[in-house]
Structure 1
Amino acid sequence: MDNMLKGLRTPLRNSLGNALRSSLAVCLLVPAIAIASVDITPLQPETVHQQTIKDIIGSLNAGHYNKINVDDSLSSDILDKYLEELDPSKSYFYKSDIAEFDAYRYELDDAILNGNLDAAFAIFNRQQQRIIERLNWTLDRLNSEQTFNFSLDETLNTDREKDDWIGSQSEMDDLWRKRIKSAILNLTLADKSEQEARKTLIKRYTSQLNRLSQNKSEDVFQRFANVFTKHFDPHTSYFSPRNSENFKINMSLSLEGIGAVLQSENEFTKIVRLVPAGPADKTGQLKPADLIVGVGQGETGEIEDVVGWRLDDVVDLIRGPKDSVVRLEIIPSDSEDKAGRKTISIKRNTVELEEQAAQKRILNVKHNDKDYKLGVIDIPAFYIDFAALQRGDKNYKSTTRDVEKLISELQTEKIDGLIIDLRNNGGGSLREANELVGLFIDRGPTVQIRDPNGRVDILGDFNPKIAYNGPMAVVVNRLSASASEIFAGAIQDYQRGIIVGNQTFGKGTVQTLQSLDHGQIKLTHAKFYRISGESTQHKGVIPDITFPETFDTSEIGESALDGALPWDQVKEARHGIFKGIDSFKPELEKRHNLRTDNQPDFNFLRAQISRQTEVRGDTTFPLNETKLLAKRDLADKWQVDAENKRRLAKGQAPIAKITDLDDLLEKDEKGRPISPESEAILEESAHILLDMVDLTKQLLTTYNPK
């Protein structure tokens, strides 16, 4: 605290003042630039921003779980992260710009503490200058009669993160020549003529140029403030007054839109997660890490290119009246060259709590030549109708209430075991995660929470009532997060059931929202721990039996986020254990492997993973049309061959092209295609559960012989 406050009492160092004055002469005091009828005036910080950055520091220092000194080390990191935020592909700034900005490397800490944002704005204004230069150069090239030779053996590096900053204008021109060439190739292979492709790109870059004039000082401040806050952890964010309102709308799920959480990534809008039972989720065609490149209104409206748009502008375009249609043009996350596109129609709607409710089904399985009935309860989110609860409605909806009712209904059908499906469950109410554990144990602790001062609170179930005491399994995957991890971790620690699937997301932190005089700050103020004492943070929950992992863990999960808080431990909370699982886990693993070694769907999963690993490191995009077509044909052929290998192994007719699957896949009651892999995972979970029942009986017979 003293280290942070001392900066507020000291004047800005002379060296920073000199550096700022030097930069301001170049970046802040130049006359307005008139480009393509767009006036770009250098932006400057407002008085309110100077106080707000101090308020942010005060809030972080008082309430954030992670105690960080604002010092020279942080200053250096912030400079690097800010440059990465403004130019992630290293395609605007020159090496000379970076060398000039290095004057700020150990000065930003004192500047921030004093509310001085001149350096942040000077860097931003230089970026705008470089963007204008590039867009004008690009538009001149597209409007000229210069042609592109698509027979040359050239490539474009699509991942410049580890490349050096560009040193000369000729190098920059060559990079952008290749970028234009790549964009035209992508569009022409998507059934556009070269003339149409040029027209699309001219429109795209002209739009980007026009949008530069819409930037306001508030936008610059929010970007820089978030680079600063994310140094504390990736879930800590500053919201400007406008974005505070958007955040409230999204949190209440009252937004009439598609039900997707979005973020900016380079020039694209990326899908982070889908709201369970939301309009986007119901299509069955969107998934996390897909990139949105175009948005169209209605069934026939023109698709508007949104590459390079601000995130809030893209969100505004996607929003619309209930029951209206929006069409998204996306690059699927599994597209090998990140260029294949498809268009998806979505009917806008609100997300109803009832549609997120837990649902049950019976899974009939033949195991060791006997027929069994397994109850499956799919829980898409941990929900509770707080409004109904607060007004005293005795029939308020909640996860625990719904699951207890479903269990009762399943037991009347004499199920042989229960599977709780938490795949893709991103969490929700902590209260519900705690109470749901209570349905399966008589009483005891469920989760521990440590605050910034190190105090640990223990939540638990104190109701001896048990809704279900039979054998159970919990299925999780990489998108099971937060409250899902608390539930799965508690079931595993008690050995009350077996956890199967994939390592979970690893979000073990708690956020709170604080109002500022100007905007809001969402900050991490506590951390979750399992009753074993282990954090769910970063590592998540490791299943007892692990299935092939299809999500790219370097892209999805807490461990993929810069600045994620580390895994650690607290003291174990005293709790009972249901004996058995640990003693025969090796045998369960052995039986699982024997069963799935030649199972067609598991073989397909393993082939997919191998292919993804193979192509992930290839960041070169061919600019030779013949080679690009060959690369795409090879990728398409691989998909068809892998799918047909599975289909033939299952006695099904082969397909000619991958789109044939759209009509062949079974659909659920909401019209979403049912993934064969997903069903295979569920069925194998049932076999593992039945193996556990068998081994438990053997163990009891050993301990209690007749």
Structure 2
Amino acid sequence: MMKLRPTLLALALAAPISLLAMADSPRTQAPATMQALVPTQQQADTSAIVHGLLSDSRYAYRPRVLDASLGAEVWKRYLEALDPSKVYLTQQDIASVPDAPAKAVAAVKEGDYAPMYSVFDIYRKRVVERSNYVRGLLKQDIFDFTGNDRYDYDREDVAWSDAAALDVQWKQSVRSDWLRLKLAGKQPDEIRKTLDKRYANMVTMIDDLNAEDIFQTALNAYTGSIDPHTDYFNPRAAERFNQSMSLSLEGIGAQLQKRDDIVTIMELIPGGPAARSNLLKPGDRIVGVGQGEKGAMEDVIGWRIDDVVAKIKGAKGTVVQLDILPAEMGIDAKPNRIQLTRDKVVLADSKAKGEVIQLPGVDGAPARRIGVIKVPAFYQDFDARRSRNGDYVSVSRDVAEILAKFNADKLDGVVVDLRNNGGGSLDEAVNMTGLFIDKGPVVQERQAGGRITVRSDRDDSVQWEGPLAVLINRASASASEIFAGAIQDYGRGLIIGETSFGKGTVQAMVDLDRVVPDRSQDQYGDVKLTVAEFFRPSGSSTQNKGVSPDIAFPATLDADEYGESTYDNALPWSKIDEAPHATYGQFAGLLPELKRLHDIRSADDVEYQWRVEDAAEFRAQREKKWISLNEAERRVERDKEDAKRKFRQAERKRLGLDLDPLADDGADDGLQYNERDVAREAEREKLADKAPDPLLREAAAILGDAARMLDGDRALAAQVLPKSTQAGNWAK
């Protein structure tokens, strides 16, 4: 039996743009038409291996027989993956493939993907037609905005329609784009030029796809029908995933994006060869790549971004040549040729980081200092750990180092910020929990056959024994829920924020090349396979329900809008027996007073109340699902937003609060992300990290209240804090 590599995987680990790739072979320019896709024997072999895994109860937690019913699901998911908004394919296109469910079954079982590829060929044709149609609309007189028209942008639940209905939908979409740019102050000629280029890029993006992309999409229509978190990765995608988990790569250390058919530098990774060289900056464009000090240069204009990345990346210590067009120079300028020596690059921006929040004294009590640890993911360098040299990237190691500094600084409490943390390594979730408890069970796993195993912290040392809070939101998932759930079950800390995502399943990465003997390396890719369900020490699953906070903040998204409960094939919630574990404290006695103090303070916190208002407005807009095409009405809305932004910044100044670094940028410019100035966008992303965070500040204040209450009541402290802390070993 093959050995699975278990790890609790993230819902969405954000990789740098330079790592995003979907192709195998480079080309010198975007073709006008793409070659017809033809299934290969390698794809058939890959599909058969994946089907064998997902239909075998020894591996898959919830195996399903691939029959006509499941085939119908696979076909539906494939169509929606191609055209999620149903704005390209028509009902007639869908009906052009007879007995589609049976063909989906044949694709997965026998590798006959020809019918699915033929639908993609139709889809590609429709994209070209729609691009031509909307570019033609720009020349027509359709841009009067005095009526009561509206653009219905939410098409999640609409049915496939005919070409005439799509003409109307696209016309309203173009009018909405035009109005948005007009409200931003753009003139008609400029608007027409911007939108013509935008709509032409619809075809360019389709031309950037190749057979491997479509095969991966088609096979993932099958894996996604098994459960929401089972996925197939082609070899390049598998490599990118491993890099995102290890937070490291070997290359020059630059995040890239394709702009106008040229790969452009978005950001330089601190400490990498590109940043150290002082020869590159955001906005510079890479037009040529050569290997070694004297290797021939290849013109990479028009190449897919992942093919350019493959040329730039390489083993540590090797040399790569780059032809660079500086951001300030035109496309016809002579490029500068530079050489860089590749190195191992650590994605430091994705690592855990610590900071300290100063809280003012209350009612004569001294001021408090609360440490904050922002944990973006539960990362671990699996390959480096397997090498057994003891030197590998690990979130629990990074957090332990931060806690050591917090202890040395004698802080009054620690908030672990897991907002937007989609998960990661199961081992790291266990190890990080162990930093805050003596020892004991952290998570229980139930395998496909029903066998239950317990993963425990076996180290009785504790890195932080003082007051603790965990801040979560709806995007906190998987490993984040294991950590937060264990801390809550042990009574070790307060859980603050929103109810979490509700992902309670364990995935393992299966290297398909290890399944097939006598194969060439990097041929088949990997499968992220659901192999178990996890449960808290209390026996309760987080599946569907998530982790509920002890003190709730206003929710931005409801459970029916985002989270595990929105998946139509998610596992139901369930419960098993409790795993015996210690209970450090009972926070029930503190919660009423903590909530009372929170309500009083947050009512007077203008930043917090603005966040509440924004959340309510966001929810209302989501529920409306359309936008007005009346210019006067939209100008009123825009002016209102502009006035609100200016008022808030003025209030921050008046009250002596931290200013919003993005507040002076003005209102919506009507542009899409890839249409804005590269250097300016890179700067905006950095400034966004410095924006006021009233929710984090309030979480720290709540923990400060708890620390003050525990300081003043020894009996209460004895019920809440670990024994060593109760004995006075927590240095203050």
TM-score (norm 1): 0.73
* Structure 1 unaligned regions, length at least 5: 1-35, 263-274, 280-295, 303-311, 328-347
Superimposed CA distance per residue, residues 513-558 of structure 1 (whole angstroms, 9 cap, x where no aligned partner): 2233533322222222211111233333212111223457656544
Superimposed CA distance per residue, residues 94-128 of structure 1 (whole angstroms, 9 cap, x where no aligned partner): 33334444642466335533433333223223323
* Residue equivalent to 2:132: 136
1:570 aligns with 2:576: yes
SS at structure 1 position matched to 2:664: helix
Evaluate the alpha carbon distance shift between residue 641 and residue 135 of structure 1 in structure 2; reply closer, same or farther with a 3 A threshold. same
* Alignment partner of 1:623 out of 621, 625, 629: 629
Evaluate the alpha carbon distance shift between residue 314 and residue 561 of structure 1 in structure 2; reply closer, same or farther with a 3 A threshold. farther
Q: Are the equivalent residues in 1 in contact too, given 2:502–2:547 (CA < 8 A)?
A: yes
* Residue equivalent to 1:363: 358
Q: Are the equivalent residues in 2 in contact too, given 1:376–1:421 (CA < 8 A)?
A: no
* Residue equivalent to 1:697: 714
Amino acid in the other structure paired with 2:223: T
1:225-240 correspondence runs (5 A): 225-240=219-234
Amino acid in the other structure paired with 1:473: A
* Alignment partner of 2:237 out of 239, 243, 247: 243
SS at structure 2 position matched to 1:70: coil
Deviation, structure 1 residue 59: 1.7
Deviation, structure 1 residue 573: 0.3
Amino acid in the other structure paired with 2:217: R
* Residue equivalent to 1:462: 458
* Residue equivalent to 1:535: 541
1:158 aligns with 2:132: no
1:611 aligns with 2:613: no
* Alignment partner of 2:692 out of 672, 675, 683: 675
Deviation, structure 1 residue 57: 0.6
SS at structure 1 position matched to 2:529: strand
SS at structure 1 position matched to 2:116: helix
For the residues of structure 1 that align with 2:705 and 2:714, how far apart are their CA atoms? 14
1:546 aligns with 2:552: yes
* Residue equivalent to 1:636: 642
1:508 aligns with 2:504: yes
1:445 aligns with 2:462: no
1:329-344 correspondence runs (5 A): none
* Alignment partner of 1:116 out of 97, 107, 112: 112
* Residue equivalent to 1:185: 179
* Residue equivalent to 2:213: 219
Evaluate the alpha carbon distance shift between residue 627 and residue 372 of structure 1 in structure 2; reply closer, same or farther with a 3 A threshold. closer
1:433 aligns with 2:450: no
Evaluate the alpha carbon distance shift between residue 510 and residue 652 of structure 1 in structure 2; reply closer, same or farther with a 3 A threshold. closer
Superimposed CA distance per residue, residues 366-404 of structure 1 (whole angstroms, 9 cap, x where no aligned partner): 233211434414142445566776666667665445544
Evaluate the alpha carbon distance shift between residue 480 and residue 91 of structure 1 in structure 2; reply closer, same or farther with a 3 A threshold. closer
* Structure 2 unaligned regions, length at least 5: 1-29, 258-266, 271-279, 287-302, 314-319, 328-342, 513-522, 668-683, 721-732
* Alignment partner of 1:203 out of 183, 197, 202: 197
Evaluate the alpha carbon distance shift between residue 533 and residue 630 of structure 1 in structure 2; reply closer, same or farther with a 3 A threshold. same
Evaluate the alpha carbon distance shift between residue 170 and residue 359 of structure 1 in structure 2; reply closer, same or farther with a 3 A threshold. closer
Q: Are the equivalent residues in 1 in contact too, given 2:245–2:379 (CA < 8 A)?
A: no
TM-score (norm 2): 0.71
* Residue equivalent to 1:173: 167
Evaluate the alpha carbon distance shift between residue 65 and residue 42 of structure 1 in structure 2; reply closer, same or farther with a 3 A threshold. same
1:3-402 correspondence runs (5 A): 38-39=32-33, 42-62=36-56, 63-101=59-97, 103-105=99-101, 108-109=104-105, 112-142=108-138, 144=139, 148-167=143-162, 169-209=163-203, 212-213=206-207, 215-255=209-249, 298-299=282-283, 313=304, 350-352=345-347, 356-361=351-356, 363-380=358-375, 381-383=377-379, 398-402=394-398
Q: Are the equivalent residues in 2 in contact too, given 1:602–1:680 (CA < 8 A)?
A: no
For the residues of structure 1 that align with 2:206 and 2:590, how far apart are their CA atoms? 63
Identity rate, percent: 33
For the residues of structure 1 that align with 2:577 and 2:612, how far apart are their CA atoms? 39
For the residues of structure 2 that align with 1:215 and 1:656, how far apart are their CA atoms? 38
Superimposed CA distance per residue, residues 264-306 of structure 1 (whole angstroms, 9 cap, x where no aligned partner): xxxxxxxxxxx9x978xxxxxxxxxxxxxxxx9944779xxxx
Q: Are the equivalent residues in 2 in contact too, given 1:372–1:416 (CA < 8 A)?
A: no
Larger deviation, residues 585-594 vs 97-106: 97-106
1:525 aligns with 2:531: yes
For the residues of structure 2 that align with 1:172 and 1:645, how far apart are their CA atoms? 46
Superimposed CA distance per residue, residues 342-385 of structure 1 (whole angstroms, 9 cap, x where no aligned partner): xxxxxx99444597244353634423321143441414244556
SS at structure 1 position matched to 2:158: coil
Larger deviation, residues 420-429 vs 520-529: 420-429
Deviation, structure 1 residue 469: 3.3
* Residue equivalent to 2:671: none
Evaluate the alpha carbon distance shift between residue 297 and residue 192 of structure 1 in structure 2; reply closer, same or farther with a 3 A threshold. farther
SS at structure 2 position matched to 1:597: helix
Q: Are the equivalent residues in 2 in contact too, given 1:440–1:496 (CA < 8 A)?
A: yes
Q: Are the equivalent residues in 2 in contact too, given 1:472–1:498 (CA < 8 A)?
A: yes
SS at structure 2 position matched to 1:229: helix
1:482-501 correspondence runs (5 A): 482-501=478-497
Amino acid in the other structure paired with 2:620: E
* Residue equivalent to 2:663: 658
Larger deviation, residues 446-455 vs 631-640: 631-640
Q: Are the equivalent residues in 1 in contact too, given 2:710–2:717 (CA < 8 A)?
A: no
Larger deviation, residues 544-553 vs 498-507: 544-553
For the residues of structure 2 that align with 1:257 and 1:558, how far apart are their CA atoms? 38
SS at structure 2 position matched to 1:159: coil
For the residues of structure 1 that align with 2:494 and 2:472, how far apart are their CA atoms? 11
Larger deviation, residues 386-395 vs 567-576: 386-395
Q: Are the equivalent residues in 1 in contact too, given 2:495–2:550 (CA < 8 A)?
A: yes
Q: Are the equivalent residues in 1 in contact too, given 2:556–2:619 (CA < 8 A)?
A: no
Deviation, structure 1 residue 150: 3.8
Evaluate the alpha carbon distance shift between residue 469 and residue 242 of structure 1 in structure 2; reply closer, same or farther with a 3 A threshold. closer
SS at structure 2 position matched to 1:226: helix
* Residue equivalent to 1:29: none
Superimposed CA distance per residue, residues 215-263 of structure 1 (whole angstroms, 9 cap, x where no aligned partner): 443333221111111112222222234434444444443356999999x
Larger deviation, residues 348-357 vs 461-470: 348-357
For the residues of structure 1 that align with 2:391 and 2:524, how far apart are their CA atoms? 40
SS at structure 2 position matched to 1:371: coil
Deviation, structure 1 residue 160: 2.2
Deviation, structure 1 residue 604: 1.9
Evaluate the alpha carbon distance shift between residue 172 and residue 431 of structure 1 in structure 2; reply closer, same or farther with a 3 A threshold. closer
Deviation, structure 1 residue 609: 1.6
Amino acid in the other structure paired with 2:694: E
For the residues of structure 1 that align with 2:552 and 2:353, how far apart are their CA atoms? 24
For the residues of structure 2 that align with 1:426 and 1:404, how far apart are their CA atoms? 21
* Structure with the larger RCO, 1 or 2 (CA within 8 Å, 6+ apart): 2
* Residue equivalent to 1:684: 701
